[in-house]
Amino acid sequence: MNDLTPTREQRTAALEGLGCKRKRVEDIRFTQGKGNYVDDVKLPGMLHGDFVRSPHAHARVKSINSEEALKVPGVLAVITAETLKTVNLAWMPTLAGDVQMVLADGKVLFQNQEVAFVVATDRYAADDGVNKVVVEYEPLQPLVDPFKSMAPDAPVLREDLAGKTTGAHGPRKHHNHIFEWTVGDKDLTDAAFRKAEVTIKEMISYHRTHPSPLETCQCVCSFDKIKGELTIWGTFQAPHVIRTVVSLIAKLPEQKIHVISPDIGGGFGNKVGAYPGYICAAVASIVTGKPVKWVEDRIENLTATSFARDYHMTTEIAATKDGKVTGLRVHVLADHGAFDACADPSKWPAGFFNIVTGSYDFPTAHLAVDGVYTNKAPGGVAYRCSFRVTEAAYCIERAMDILAQKLGMDPAELRLKNFIKPEQFPYHSALGWEYDSGDYHTAMRKMMETTGYAALRKEQAEKRAAFKRGETREVMGLGVSFFTEIVGAGPSKNCDILGIAMFDSCEIRMHPTGAGIARMGTKSQGQGHETTWAQIIATEIGIPADNIQVEEGNTDTAPYGLGTYGSRSTPVAGAAIAMAARKIKAKAQMIAAYKLEVHEDDLEWDIDGFRVKGLPEKFMSMKDICWAAYNSVPPGMEPGLEAVSYYDPPNMTYPFGAYLCVMDIDVDTGVYKVRRFYALDDCGTRINPMIIEGQVHGGLTEAFAIAMGQEIRYDDTGNVVTGSFMDFFMPTAVETPHWETDFTVTPSPHHPIGAKGVGESPNVGGVPAFSNAVNDAFAFLGATHIQMPHDYWRNWKAAKTLGAVA
């Protein structure tokens, strides 16, 4: 070995593989304004579409008059439900088994519902046309409060469902009822409550909010009449699913549809579903023979394309008086708005809300969810979380604090007492899940030691005493949260979307020079897949990550996959990538054996190539094997070096974490200050620590926004009162706290590289940490549960209700 021979460490480092803080490939173009987002797509002759929307929450549409609109210079067409009926597209199926109006058909059911689609030569002319369409409405009684939706005299919202006593998920109890979903053993749970020494019961609401990525939903549809082909550029988190849905509802052959998700400016669940804008732009392109662009504005985004949460969770815990939980009973009233357009796997009307037992060893539990219609926008997307998991985590983490308060126990101590123990994994929960791995006690203790939890509690006790003596007007809260997520949907045995199993995929093609291209069924919206996917391949096959081009989002070239949401990319596609790479490596081993003139079994893998066991000088690098794959493969072997993997995961993955929020609140103004926020995440094997940390920062910031003020609020008549960034809380750098991150590593036993996914954990764990901090701050004044969001005004109101403010 001479001085120029790289060491093993140098060879490993050169790969920039797993565990490396590799700088992002994407940033070169994004920092120079050279990203390619949907609104950047410009085609010759392209037209623009814009919507006429309903000012009413509930009204009958008496007439639509387009005459004056069609006289506006540049306006070419006005599409209404009547137009869409000629192609059988006035209604579209939703992912949740319901149907949804594409354009108002006889009625409008929420404010800003799409009524007509104006197509014009540019976006200004389209807007002029929108202003000239005359719609005559007959206002009807709006239904806004979900708790009144199933009253006997509640207005009938969905006339199309008249007489239908069964929906996609079983019997309907009322004309505004969508489904009832129950899980768990009711009798056993009721018995646990009858025998309980201590019980708590609280109605815990998780308000309606919105993912609101900085880039809104948009598309460009271009129909080629000669070829009969439709190309759609769109902000799609799941391009293949969109292609299949378009094929099914537009009756176009799937090979004639090309769906392209270019760069996406954030998704957070907003860009999973199919929206009327996509259908209208496609129909408009078919009708006019020209490409049609539809770009939603921010108000439209906040008020019409999906929402998140709106779960009202009546939660009960049974326990012994020394703090061992014995039963959990939860009833959820789920407000789905005017149509059930939840983006959940098809068989899961309430997503994976049955993860609500959290990190605790509940011997029994029972859950019932009632979904109802109201005059609000449809949706129910997983805003930076796996399906309804953040609602579940908030529910159990708030309830555990309420129980601790009742028992007079420290919330951290109560959690430690009830955690699932390391030796119980794989753990079967009372509501049907099999948790793959975890070490909750270690994570919790590390959080407590790092933050000086005991000292903080002591300080809090002193401050409370000082407050009572009238020496301060500030109250201090410690928000403990310990969450378990369920991500990586998912195994075909329980997850599908419209009948398609929720696998994911990867195809790798190695080129003769030792470079390659890899394509996946996922689609990054900021997660940095072009960077991290290459790192997995680099470690698996010993080719530098810089030599692997990653490509996603084009349904013509990428293998079929179910897309990126619910933290499924790493658990599912990440596994497919490792498996495809291992197929490459297996063929490479045969080629190396042939070239080195030994038996395959005599070779061992060594960082970036194969070495003959016991003969270290006989070595063939992966780079050289790539070359050989194209000119001298063993007799009988096909040339080339490519592999495809479709990965159906055997189980979900269960990331977890321990968070602490330290908050001070001035009772006279309600103004809070997040003094400290510590987040320990365990996402199993860590692919790129820099990107993980970035994901945690971002998720915590969204959690902070949701818990402390971000809300889609309606007034009594169904008007959205938080429909722009003026009213919808969007934290800036000034409000956003400083984040401290930490980790433990408990690999997933069933994932090829042990990774679990992380992007959504901080939102799931963050919201209860903030809310628990506020509730903990006011607990000594007698508060049990204060509903979110905890903005200044509500904090002040809480203080006033508790008698702390005159």
Partner 1 sequence: MAKTHVTMKVNGAEVEGLVEPRTLLVHFIRESLGMTGTHIGCETTHCGACTVDIDGMSVKSCTMFAVQAQGSDITTVEGMANADGSLSALQEGFRMMHGLQCGFCTPGMIMRAHRLLKENPSPSEEEIRMGISGNICRCTGYQNIVRAIQYAAAKLNGIEFKEAAE
Residue of 316, 530, 711, 760 marked active site: 760
- Annotated active-site residue 20? The verdict is no
Q: DSSP character for 149?
A: T
Q: Which of 16, 263, 496, 681 binds partner 1 (CB under 8 A)?
A: 263
373/143 Cα distance (integer angstroms): 9
Residue 475 near residue 776, CB atoms below 8 Å: no
Structure tokens at 499: 């009948």
Residue 563 near residue 237, CB atoms below 8 Å: yes
Q: Which stretch binds partner 1 (CB under 8 A): 359-367, 603-611, 626-634, 722-730?
A: 722-730
Q: What are phi and psi of 554, to 5 degrees?
A: -110, 115
Residue 655, SS3 per DSSP: coil
- Annotated active-site residue 237? The verdict is yes
Residue 655 near residue 757, CB atoms below 8 Å: yes
SS3 per residue for 630-654: CCCCCCCCCCCCEEEEEECCCCCEC
Q: Could you give the C-alpha distances from 509 to 104, 125, 213, 593, in angstroms and in order?
A: 48, 47, 33, 21
Closer to partner 1 by CB, 129 or 542: give it.
129
Quick check: 450 binds partner 1 (CB under 8 A)?
A: no
Quick check: 44 binds partner 1 (CB under 8 A)?
A: no
Determine the length of the chain.
806
Closer to partner 1 by CB, 429 or 741: give it.
741
121/105 Cα distance (integer angstroms): 26
Quick check: 4 binds partner 1 (CB under 8 A)?
A: no
Quick check: 202 binds partner 1 (CB under 8 A)?
A: no
Closer to partner 1 by CB, 455 or 733: give it.
733
523/242 Cα distance (integer angstroms): 13
Quick check: 31 binds partner 1 (CB under 8 A)?
A: yes
Q: Which stretch binds partner 1 (CB under 8 A): 207-215, 469-477, 553-561, 668-676?
A: 207-215
Q: Which of 8, 34, 347, 458 binds partner 1 (CB under 8 A)?
A: 34
Q: Which of 1, 4, 226, 733 binds partner 1 (CB under 8 A)?
A: 733
Instruction: Report in angstroms how near the CB of residue 696 gets to partner 1 at its nearest.
Output: 8
Q: Which stretch binds partner 1 (CB under 8 A): 169-177, 206-214, 562-570, 590-598?
A: 206-214
The 10 Å CB-count burial string (b at 16+, else e) for 46-57 is bbbbbbbbbebb
10/610 Cα distance (integer angstroms): 17
Closer to partner 1 by CB, 216 or 567: give it.
216
DSSP 277-299: HHHHHHHHHHHHSS-EEEE--HH
The 10 Å CB-count burial string (b at 16+, else e) for 683-704 is bbbbbbeebbbbbbebbbbbbb
Residue of 113, 237, 460, 525 marked active site: 237
Quick check: 725 binds partner 1 (CB under 8 A)?
A: yes
Q: Which of residues 388-447 bind partner 1 (CB under 8 A)?
A: none
Residue of 208, 309, 329, 384 marked active site: 384
Q: Which of 6, 10, 13, 28 binds partner 1 (CB under 8 A)?
A: 28
Closer to partner 1 by CB, 725 or 793: give it.
725
Give CA 124 to chain center in angstroms. Answer: 34
Closer to partner 1 by CB, 346 or 724: give it.
724
Binding letters toward partner 1, positions 510-529, x by CB under 8 A: ---------------xxxx-
Residue 338, SS3 per DSSP: coil
390/434 Cα distance (integer angstroms): 18
Residue 302 near residue 376, CB atoms below 8 Å: no
Quick check: 13 binds partner 1 (CB under 8 A)?
A: no
CB atoms within 10 A of CB 91: 20
Closer to partner 1 by CB, 345 or 526: give it.
526
Quick check: 19 binds partner 1 (CB under 8 A)?
A: no
Residue 238 near residue 562, CB atoms below 8 Å: yes
Quick check: 702 binds partner 1 (CB under 8 A)?
A: yes
Answer whether the bond into residue 211 is a cis peptide, omega within 30°: no
| Strand pairing category for 672-682 and 740-743 | parallel
Quick check: 546 binds partner 1 (CB under 8 A)?
A: no
| Strand pairing category for 427-428 and 434-435 | antiparallel
Q: Which stretch binds partner 1 (CB under 8 A): 93-101, 364-372, 498-506, 737-745?
A: 737-745
Closer to partner 1 by CB, 110 or 268: give it.
268
Q: What are phi and psi of 603, to 5 degrees?
A: -100, 150
Quick check: 701 binds partner 1 (CB under 8 A)?
A: yes
Closer to partner 1 by CB, 24 or 186: give it.
24
Q: Which of 17, 129, 184, 213 binds partner 1 (CB under 8 A)?
A: 213
Quick check: 32 binds partner 1 (CB under 8 A)?
A: yes
- Annotated active-site residue 395? The verdict is no
Give CA 746 to chain center in angstroms. Answer: 22
Closer to partner 1 by CB, 83 or 535: give it.
535
Structure tokens at 241: 């699913």
367/297 Cα distance (integer angstroms): 39
Q: Which of 124, 322, 428, 650 binds partner 1 (CB under 8 A)?
A: 124
Closer to partner 1 by CB, 717 or 724: give it.
724
Instruction: Report in angstroms how near the CB of residue 460 gets to partner 1 at its nearest.
Output: 23
Instruction: Report in angstroms how near the CB of residue 770 gets to partner 1 at its nearest.
Output: 14
Closer to partner 1 by CB, 222 or 244: give it.
222
C-alpha closest to that of 158 among 149, 145, 169? 149
Quick check: 730 binds partner 1 (CB under 8 A)?
A: yes
- Longest Cα–Cα distance of the chain, Å, equals 90
463/449 Cα distance (integer angstroms): 21
Quick check: 265 binds partner 1 (CB under 8 A)?
A: yes
Quick check: 738 binds partner 1 (CB under 8 A)?
A: yes
Binding letters toward partner 1, positions 459-498, x by CB under 8 A: ----------------------------------------
Who contacts 789 (Cβ-Cβ below 8 Å, separation ≥6)? Answer: 207, 706, 707, 708, 709, 710, 711, 729
Question: How many residues at the interface with partner 1, by CB under 8 A?
Answer: 57
On the CB side of 177, CA atoms within 13 Å amount to: 19
Q: DSSP character for 455?
A: H
Q: Which stretch binds partner 1 (CB under 8 A): 129-137, 315-323, 549-557, 686-694?
A: 686-694
Quick check: 33 binds partner 1 (CB under 8 A)?
A: yes
User: What percentage of the chain's residues is helix, strand, coil (to nearest 5)?
Assistant: 30, 25, 45
Residue 536 near residue 581, CB atoms below 8 Å: yes
Binding letters toward partner 1, positions 296-335, x by CB under 8 A: -xx-------------------------------------
350/686 Cα distance (integer angstroms): 30
Binding letters toward partner 1, positions 350-389, x by CB under 8 A: ----------------------------------------
Residue of 219, 280, 385, 683 marked active site: 385
Quick check: 700 binds partner 1 (CB under 8 A)?
A: yes
655/747 Cα distance (integer angstroms): 9
Q: Which stretch binds partner 1 (CB under 8 A): 9-17, 56-64, 346-354, 698-706?
A: 698-706
Closer to partner 1 by CB, 32 or 63: give it.
32
Quick check: 666 binds partner 1 (CB under 8 A)?
A: no
Quick check: 42 binds partner 1 (CB under 8 A)?
A: yes
Structure tokens at 774: 């506020």
Interface with partner 1 (CB under 8 A): 23-24, 26-37, 39-40, 42, 73, 123-124, 212-216, 263-266, 268, 297-298, 525-528, 690-691, 693-695, 697-698, 700-702, 724-726, 730, 732-734, 736, 738-740
Residues identified as active-site: 237, 384-385, 760
